Amino acid sequence: MQTAASLHPAQGVRQVQVGPERDGQRIDNALLTLLKGVPKSMIYRLLRTGQVRVNGRRAKPDTRLTDGDTLRIPPVRSAGKADTVAPSSAQLAELEHSIIFQDRHFLVIDKPAGIASHGGSGVSHGAIELLRAARPQEHLELVHRLDRDTSGVLVLARTRAGLLGLQAAIRDGAVTKQYLCLMLGQPAKGKFDVNVPLRKSVLQGGERMVRVTDDGKPALTFFRDVESYPGARLMQATLATGRTHQIRVHAAHIGHPLAGDPKYGDREANKRFRELGLHRMFLHAAHVGFDLDGRAYSFSAPLPEELKAFLDTLAVQTPAARPRRSRAAPTPLPAVRRPARRK
């Protein structure tokens, strides 16, 4: 009998044993994750017609699963499965090597730049798909996301309790998320915040763009000076909210876009930086911290070697405007509360 954490395509009816990671989960939500690629309408049709059963009994979409239940799943065909290319062993090894922490509830990686958090929009395999392929017996879910070109700490849940607990902490603003970023130019202050609302839109080609608008969602970022370089400054950015592209848009809004940012950055400056060896966006998730069930979790990832090398190259171009300081990981700040909602 298969488990609900390790469901694989198979012929005929499957009997699936529900594990503790799905205890209390609605059956429709469980099926959406178990039957990847199956249209939502098909899943609800299976439930409505009684083809999916729990312990031999018909189930409604809001039926809650319990550890130890037996789930009957009829044969279904996932759209596009035949065209899916299996991840390479090198990809799987790279993600396994990037793991920096794991316990009963969480698995944490130092995500390399260039790997998406999840598949979609032309991306066959993101970090979550690769880790699921490398660990087929585990139940893994993304708790939050990083942009494809952003490296650093990415937290995945191994249990439903971990997933829901950390998602609740994120909603409550009780999670510290700190990034290292290189801003173009020299901000006037070494410590400041940007508190302007953001609105996300999707362009005709499916590209996501975020803009500062008065009717957007509240967004607050705290910036702190780490080190100065010729024509740029390394900053620590701490999120009070977690909007899409928040740091990138806030930096561009104040006239100091991130180095290497292809969407919101300065094209000419990016060209100069490429000539000096910067071939990615300079944004790195350096630290994530939170408390859960009486335990304090704290994860840090050092600045990648390619970014360190670029800073060393940049430092010797011309004399720095200010004395340079150590690039040691910045001291984590306490969790920050998100701003009040706009009415």
β-pairing, 70-73 vs 2-3, is unpaired
Within 10 A of 52 (CB to CB), how many other CB atoms are there? 25
CB 260 within 8 A of CB 278: yes
pLDDT at 320 (0 to 100): 42
| pLDDT digit string, tens, across residues 253-279 | 999 999 999 999 999 999 999 999 999
| pLDDT digit string, tens, across residues 36-59 | 778 888 888 899 999 999 999 999
28, 110, 147, 225: the catalytic one is: 147
Domains of the chain: 2-77 (3.10.290.10), 90-157 (3.30.2350.10), 175-315 (3.30.2350.10)
pLDDT band at 333; cut points 50, 70, 90: low
Q: What are the phi and psi torsion angles at 152 (to 5°)?
A: 120, -160
Residue 69 has pLDDT above 50, yes or no: yes
For 11-25, 159-173, 228-242, which range has the lowest pLDDT when averaged over its residues? 11-25
Tell me the mean pLDDT in the region 3-29.
72
Whether 147 is catalytic is yes
pLDDT at 121 (0 to 100): 56
pLDDT at 286 (0 to 100): 98
Query: What is the spatial distance between Cα 224 and Cα 147, in angstroms, rounded to a whole number?
Result: 22
Q: Give me the helices (H) in the chain, please.
A: 27-34, 40-48, 89-97, 127-134, 160-171, 246-253, 267-275, 305-315
Residue-averaged pLDDT of the chain: 86
User: Coil, strand or helix: which one is 160?
Assistant: helix
| pLDDT digit string, tens, across residues 147-195 | 999 999 999 999 989 999 999 999 999 999 999 999 999 999 999 999 9
